[in-house]
Amino acid sequence: MFNTRKIGHTGTLDPFATGLLIVAVGKCTRLIPFLEKAKKTYTATITLGKTSPTLDPESEITDIAFDGELPTKENIEKIIKKHFLGKIEQIPPQFSALKINGKKCCDLARKGEKVEMKPRPAEVFRAEITDYAYPELTVELEVAAGFYVRAFARDLGEKLVGGGICSELRRTAIESLSIEDALPLEMCTESIDPRFILQNLPQTEIPMGRTQDFVAGRAFPWSGVEGEKSLVLVGGRTIGLGEIMKGNLQPRVVL
């Protein structure tokens, strides 16, 4: 499609999930680290009172016995506010792409090997219930990178009725980039200038006469904040990424 073997993305989606995926091709793959820690927004449907090895519909689902009073929307909002907002800790799912001793946990789990998953820091900026009719609960989540929605479904479900799985999951935004701005894969015939994607980075327009210096990796005098990284543009087109070092603009990534 883009006549290159070099391709990467800024964060995988679970097999059952849909939604926004930012794909980098060619030399632009060198810009991926600047989006890997980007804030993400999801719409998740949680089925309460269920569990499965993968914490989603991709494995055998079993019912959890519960004879207590069913939670109200107000109950759930209180639990979320108390336990799942701000900086928290999560135990990642056994079926995840995390690596232990160089091996993916999901591969070990498929072989029946028990893996001890340790708690990891996570952060939730916003968690809003958009629909609820027991056992289905739909929540919009705005979270930091590294957050596991399936783990959230499990943990919230355990506090409410003993368990839960994430039955539907859709990533709707990465930072300020919305799914509404995305195209289906089959319609992606042209690349997009990185300045439209990396909106979290400042932009520096340099004169045409400095293009060769930048492309050759040569630093040149430029005022700015020491250590600040920015996309470097010529005539409104991104040619790379630079960093201010001792009063110079030092090329870091050349496209």
- What's phi and psi for 11, nearest 5 deg? 150, 120
Structure tokens at 54: 């993968």
229-234: strand order across its sheet: 203-205, 229-234, 237-245, 248-254, 220-221
Region class of 3: left (phi > 0), else alpha (psi between -120 and 50), else beta:
left
Distance set, CA 181 to CA 21, 101, 117 (Å): 11, 39, 36
Q: Given the residues 14, 107, 131, 193, select the one marked as catalytic.
A: 14
Q: Looking at this protein, which amino acid is placed at residue 38?
A: A
Is residue 14 annotated as a catalytic residue, yes or no? Answer: yes
First and final C-alpha spacing in the chain: 19
CB atoms within 10 A of CB 162: 16
The Cα–Cα gap between 131 and 73 comes to: 9
The Cα–Cα gap between 245 and 222 comes to: 9
The Cα–Cα gap between 255 and 29 comes to: 10
Residue bearing tokens 């210096």: 213
| Spatial CA neighbour of 154 closest among 63, 213, 238, 93 | 93
Active site residues: 14
